[in-house]
């Protein structure tokens, strides 16, 4: 019985950690949907956002004010990205855009560290990374309060974004731009505004993801690499699907924990770091477009 309970605990912890991957992956999906580009700068955006947030707090701003100021800042980053990077490259191929996002990533990383310094910061959200007592009492499961909060926050963001895309003018415009930018602008959809909104939304998602990660692991440069774990999540979920990002994140989170606990010892442990990539490769062989991605049909 305790064996089984322990297994459940591992899975639940994995799922909740998975929601954090989902959060990061969500930022990638937003940009991918709008411009068919994998935004390599997303990891840097996570780092940039949360470092700025902590920086504002250190300057003495209250939590809520710092949060909104950071959102404004991410809006500004989105605006500059649109005007200085995306707009001049609009007629270029997707590969060019991809390279541009890699460059953007370096710029953001550099800017963030030049402004706020390189030392690791602590971020205290007031939510402890320890098991919740009443859940232990009622079920015997050890579930971290931070994990649980991250789960709820991710769920909220996801529902909000899904509704936004499905039911609003902007969502419809965004889907149109993703499909054919030329046609979209010919019927009056302003490409620039759509891109600005998308990058700002991706910036907000990056901030929230960064806060969750930062609270656990400290606000540090390693967040950039951690964010790249979204890559296997997206390969499994599909690059253009919001539900895909969620399910992909949960799958990666749960399996990597289960593998770590039950298979890890045979490899000398710490397989969490690379197991998701192995899964992604296996997944590519089976279903290259991901669980929820659009099927790629090529006529030869």
Partner 1 sequence: MMQARNFPIGDPILEVRNISLSFGGVKAITNTSFNVLRHEIRAIIGPNGAGKSSLLNCINGIYKPQEGTITLKNEVLDKISPNIVARKGISRTFQNLALFKRMSVLDNVLVGRQLHMSANFLQVAFQTPQARREERENRERCEEIVEFLEIAHIRDTPVGRLPYGLQKKVELGRALATEAEILLLDEPMAGMNVEEKREMCRFILKVNDEFGTTMVLIEHDMGVVMDISDNVVVLDYGKVIGDGPPDEVRSDQAVIDAYLGVAHD
How far is Cα 5 from Cα 233, in angstroms, rounded to an integer? 27
- Nearest residue (CB) to partner 1, 198 versus 259: 198
Q: Which helix (H) or strand (E) holds 67?
A: helix 63-80
How far is Cα 144 from Cα 254, in angstroms, rounded to an integer? 15
- Residue 58 sits in the site that holds partner 1 (CB under 8 A): no
Using DSSP, state whether 144 is helix, strand or coil: strand
How far is Cα 230 from Cα 54, in angstroms, rounded to an integer? 23
- 60, 62, 126, 188: which one contacts partner 1 (CB under 8 A)? 188
- Residue 170 sits in the site that holds partner 1 (CB under 8 A): yes
Q: Which stretch binds partner 1 (CB under 8 A): 101-109, 131-139, 176-184, 224-232?
A: 176-184
Question: Among residues 225, 237, 246, which one has the least CA distance to residue 280?
Answer: 237
Beta carbons of 293 and 245 less than 8 angstroms apart: no
How far is Cα 192 from Cα 179, in angstroms, rounded to an integer? 15
- Residue 202 sits in the site that holds partner 1 (CB under 8 A): no
- 24, 29, 184, 252: which one contacts partner 1 (CB under 8 A)? 184
- Nearest residue (CB) to partner 1, 11 versus 164: 164
Q: Which stretch binds partner 1 (CB under 8 A): 101-109, 163-171, 255-263, 282-290?
A: 163-171
The CB-of-79 to partner 1 minimum distance in angstroms stands at 18
The CB-of-234 to partner 1 minimum distance in angstroms stands at 18
- Residue 176 sits in the site that holds partner 1 (CB under 8 A): yes
- Residue 15 sits in the site that holds partner 1 (CB under 8 A): no
Estimate the share of the chain in helix, then strand, then coil, as percent rounded to the nearest 5: 75, 0, 25
- Nearest residue (CB) to partner 1, 93 versus 115: 93
- Residue 180 sits in the site that holds partner 1 (CB under 8 A): yes
Say how many C-beta atoms besides its own lie within 10 A of residue 218's C-beta: 15
Q: Which residues bind partner 1 (CB under 8 A)?
A: 163-164, 167-170, 172-173, 175-176, 179-180, 182-191, 294
């Amino acid at each position: 019985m305790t064996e089984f309970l322990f297994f459940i605990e591992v899975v639940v912890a994995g799922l909740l950690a998975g929601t954090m991957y989902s959060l990061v992956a969500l930022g990638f999906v937003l940009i991918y949907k709008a411009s068919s580009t994998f935004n390599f700068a997303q990891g840097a955006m996570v780092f940039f956002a949360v470092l700025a947030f902590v920086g504002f707090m250190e300057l003495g701003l209250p939590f809520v004010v710092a949060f909104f100021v950071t959102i404004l800042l991410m809006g500004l980053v989105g605006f500059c990205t649109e005007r200085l990077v995306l707009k001049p490259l609009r007629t270029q191929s997707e590969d060019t855009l991809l390279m541009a996002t890699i460059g953007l990533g370096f710029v953001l990383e550099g800017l963030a560290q030049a402004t706020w310094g390189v030392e690791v910061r602590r971020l205290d959200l007031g939510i402890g990374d320890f098991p919740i007592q009443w859940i232990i009492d009622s079920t015997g499961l050890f579930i971290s309060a931070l994990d649980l909060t991250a789960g709820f926050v991710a769920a909220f963001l996801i529902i909000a974004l899904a509704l936004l895309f499905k039911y609003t003018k902007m969502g419809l415009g965004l889907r149109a731009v993703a499909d054919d930018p030329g046609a979209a602008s010919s019927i009056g959809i302003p490409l620039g505004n759509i891109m600005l909104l998308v990058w700002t939304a991706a910036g907000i998602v990056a901030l929230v993801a960064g806060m969750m990660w930062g609270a656990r692991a400290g606000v540090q440069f390693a967040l950039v690499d951690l964010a790249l774990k979204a890559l296997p999540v997206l390969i499994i979920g599909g690059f253009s699907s919001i539900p895909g990002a969620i399910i992909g994140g949960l799958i990666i989170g749960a399996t990597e924990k289960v593998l770590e606990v039950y298979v890890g010892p045979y490899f000398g442990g710490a397989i969490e770091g690379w197991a998701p990539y192995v899964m992604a490769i296996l997944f590519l062989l089976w279903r290259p477009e991901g669980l929820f991605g659009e099927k790629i049909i090529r006529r030869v």
